[in-house]
Amino acid sequence: MQLKKDRGFSLVELLVAIAIMAILATVGFSSYAGFKNKQSVEAEVTKLTATIREAMELSRSQADGSQWGVHFANPTGTGNDFYEIWKGTSYASSTVTSRVNLTTNVRFTDPADGSTKDVSFGKSTGLITASSSVVIESLTSGGTGRVNIDTSGRVDYTLN
């Protein structure tokens, strides 16, 4: 006589399979979240680089007969960092032509919290007198980006 074998999974096998799937889902989700944070930093750094180049070109072409610059502000607190394009002799006596707020999941680390930084481009040359940089980082984790502006007119960025 032949014995009948049970088919199917035992409770232990089922629990092990569920545990493995939960671990894989957790690892996948955290990797995806880190990827999204890095993408946010990269998008902000790319947009900021384009804005700086725009201000440099406006100053070089003497648009509206003015010199141009970019003002970076990191007010105390989170979620309120911004930068502005301005025209005039200095930010204090300038006309702001546009303002860009950083997205809520990134912030400036340079300028430091509670500080500002101005980059002024020379009229007709579009050059700055001293090299400068601005650093953006993710609030949650996922990287930083540094935008460098040098005295020869080069604007580039690095991502970490």
Both tokens of 130, joined, read 């001293």
In a domain? residue 3: no
- Positive or negative torsion for Cα 83, 89, 92, 97: negative
Mean pLDDT of the chain: 90
Report pLDDT digits (tens) over 58-117: 999 999 999 999 999 999 887 799 999 999 999 999 999 999 999 988 999 999 999 999
Residue 85 has what DSSP assignment? E
Domain count across the chain: 1
Confidence of residue 139 (pLDDT cuts 50, 70, 90): confident
CATH number of residue 150's parent domain: 3.55.40.10
In a domain? residue 136: yes
**Is the link from the previous residue into 75 a cis peptide, with omega within 30 of 0?**
no
Residue 144 has what DSSP assignment? E
Report pLDDT digits (tens) over 26-49: 888 877 877 887 888 999 999 999
Specify whether the CB–CB gap between 52 and 69 falls below 8 A: no
Burial label for 107, CB within 10 Å (0-12, 13-18, 19+), is: buried
Position 141 scores a pLDDT of 75
E runs forming strands in the chain: 68-74, 82-87, 95-101, 106-110, 115-121, 132-138, 144-149, 155-159
Full residue range of the structural domain in which residue 134 is found: 13-159
In a domain? residue 7: no
pTM greater than 0.85: no
Report pLDDT digits (tens) over 48-57: 999 999 999 9
